[in-house]
Amino acid sequence: MSPGKEGSICVGHAQVQVWLVPLDGLTDSVRSACSAWLAPAEAERYGRFIQAEARDQFLVARACCEQRCTAIRVSADRPCNSVQTGLAPLSENRDTPQFNLSHTRGLVALAITHEGEVGVDVEDFTRGADVRALAGGLFSPAEAAKVDSASGKAAKELFFRLWTLKEAYVKARGAGLSMALDRFSFGQLGANPQLLPASDDEAEAERWRFFRQRLRRAISLR
């Protein structure tokens, strides 16, 4: 099984490798090859999935992570927990690569770096969603106001830009959605978005660098 398209990006001064694995047209032979990478507990969990799309996402994400772990000769036990928990792996040993995974309809993304914590999120923003209501309930007041004032398609695209940034950030922090998304805000949303300083921790924003890219089929990568 090939881990898919690889890209290397610079986020600030850090080098991050990103693998993008399309799920469209996944064949039984590829599924079989991926299954060979699963540990017994993972294979058991894989067998419990009912929805075919969720099964494929789990299988390919886990196999890709295990394959890359093997390729760089590190233990997959801690880094690949991100598949199960949605949290970024945190390690006190900076020589240990940091991993994070995300998936959406038709795509799995894996990010790896040796230079600090990392979070990645991909979303298909063609799917239906009441983005104004979601932004009002989840985002900071300033961000929600921006989404509310945007029109139609622009509102949906802005919502998913912010959502993927926030998801990637909380995953890199190791907090998952236990960290409220309205506790922090993003300002500039260009190719290198900026986290705005919070009143209770102004130094936090300086620690993080972000990269975003719009992929084919309107999938957003952070």
Q: Can you list the domains of the chain with their CATH numbers? A: 5-120 (3.90.470.20), 123-221 (3.90.470)
Q: How confident is the model at residue 147 (pLDDT cuts 50, 70, 90)?
A: very high
Check residue 56 and give its pLDDT.
Answer: 92
Nearest to 112 by CA among 195, 186, 3: 3
Query: In the predicted model, what is the mean pLDDT of the chain?
Result: 78
Q: What tokens appear for 140 in the block?
A: 């900071």
pTM metric for this prediction: 0.78
Could you give the angle at which helices 141-149 and 131-138 cross, rounded to 10 degrees? 170
Query: What is the predicted pLDDT for the residue at 3?
Result: 46
| Beta carbons within 8 Å of 92's beta carbon, 6+ residues apart | none
Give bridge partners of residue 219 from the DSSP assignment: 124, 215
Whether 78 shows a pLDDT value over 50: the answer reads: no
Closest CA to 90 of 170, 13, 163: 170
In sequence order, the 6+-apart residues with CB closer than 8 A to the CB of 4 are: 19, 20, 21, 22, 64, 108
With tokens 């390690």, the residue in question is 91
What is the mean pLDDT of the segment spanning 116-139?
88
Q: Which of 52-66, 84-98, 146-160 has the least mean pLDDT?
A: 84-98
